[in-house]
Structure 1
Amino acid sequence: MSHLLTIRDLGREALEQILALSERQHSRLPLQGRGVALYFEKPSARTRNSMEMAAVQLGAHPVYIQRDEVGLGTRETPEDVARTLACYHSIIAARVKDHRLLEQMAAAVDTPVLNMLSDSDHPLQALADLLTVKQLFGRIEGVRIAYVGDYNNVARSLAEGCSLLGAELIVASPEGYGFTEAPEGIRQVVDPAEAVEGAQIVYTDVWVSMGQDDETEERLRAFSNYQVSADLMSRSSDAWFLHCLPARRGEEVTDEVMDGPRSAVWRQAENRMHSARGAMAWMLGVNP
């Protein structure tokens, strides 16, 4: 059994195993009668729905837990909450603001801890992204991906996955919003047109993430030239568009691109469920 807090926790073989498990149609219910704790400090649409359905598809019973119900870090320490949940559940999944909480929980229990999102990493989104790339091209290695926007938790996990599997990732960010240190093989530019030129995938995310509301005006100014529009997409012939959602239409992406024939956004969203199923199966060493 293994924790999954970041893509950095995985080697190439483990990452490929998770993607293979994500594509597999389950013929039995390996987690029948077992529980999966889903702890949320932040609200979610895709994460809650995809994780609950992935647990059900494996035969498990998902339990949705809000922050106020357990008082993590206030009424009880993260370690004690994890120890309590481990009494009932086979996996503890958490969506938190501070990544250190996940590390504290994982250090306290043998029960696998899964990061559903933290301030620094979003491994489940990266798994869905890589699965989508594999479905679109039949491979991941050598596929050229342009990420346009803030080098946030989504971009970081995607970069780590691309580095492990040999995809070519170019990140276009304004000065001050890119990476200071990136995985091997990941390139950074300032000009979004340069990143998109010849890309097979164009990916973006919101400019103002949850918890950054006090930076809204500053970020809107910094990213004003980074909108993924039809004009930017035209820099590469037949590129597919991806977005981790939710999208702020009219800011980082136009309706024309989101709803266009080369948008794979909804396949990507569905793959959140499939990759969550693959991740949980891998963590417990089961074969669905």
Structure 2
Amino acid sequence: MAQARDDAPTPGWLGVVPGAALLLLFLIPFGIMLAVSVAGREPGGFYQWGFDLAGYRRVMSAFVGGILLTSVAIAAGAALIAVALALPFTVLLAGLSRRAQTAILVALLSVLSLSEVIVGFSVSTLLSRTAGVGNLLAWLGLTAEPQSYTPSLFALMTGLTYLSFPYAVLVLYPPVARLDPELGQASRTMGASPLRTFAGVTVPLLRAPILGALILVFVFALGSYLLPQVLGRPEHWTLSVHITDQAIYQSNLPLAAAMAAVLLLATLALVGLALLVARDKGAPA
């Protein structure tokens, strides 16, 4: 009876709920955004339905293109740093006792409860000249006087990495916890160092989870809005900041919608390219 129940096909109606959620939460809003992106702008912040590509012509300018490249570079850098830190941390975490793992995972989940506002201003204070690490470095004699490290690209990457690190750990933890510990023991028995075991055994076995963590953190960092303004300089402002500026402060909804559409399509293209490269590398020769 149990075997027959396990072999029963999945009811087709179960796909209705996620399909309806996808339709209501993504496809319909995306369609409205596309319609607004080609609408004509009117004075006072309003728009008139039509087919005007003025917004896309401005998006294709060198200025907006540079902002998009900056956004992608910052998001990719944050993803690489966060995953590079999260992977060895997760491997060490999986080797601890169950009680210690639970305590650390709860602490990481508590970090996720912090808003981007709290993290942004906390990192800004930590890297400031008056109340930050600059005073500590000066007290230790490493610098002549306290210095401010914000706003800067370093401060922005620090904030993005802090926010992204728990997500990377939570994505990597289940596959890392399922790894057979005998594989690492066999590698060390053959004379490999712990570092070589990590690079030659652990990392190849976690190729797919690592890619998943990179994609998740990349998409998360690409949509960051507050941290680039609080921690970065104007040249570090991402496309999300400029979209908000056009929609709220410049009252240019068609241009904001066109920029958002291009950002979303660029994100989907980069994610698809990453998945395609990973599949090709994983294919047998």
> Please, what TM-score do these two structures have when normalized by structure 2?
0.24
> Please, what TM-score do these two structures have when normalized by structure 1?
0.24
Q: Which has the higher strand share?
A: 1
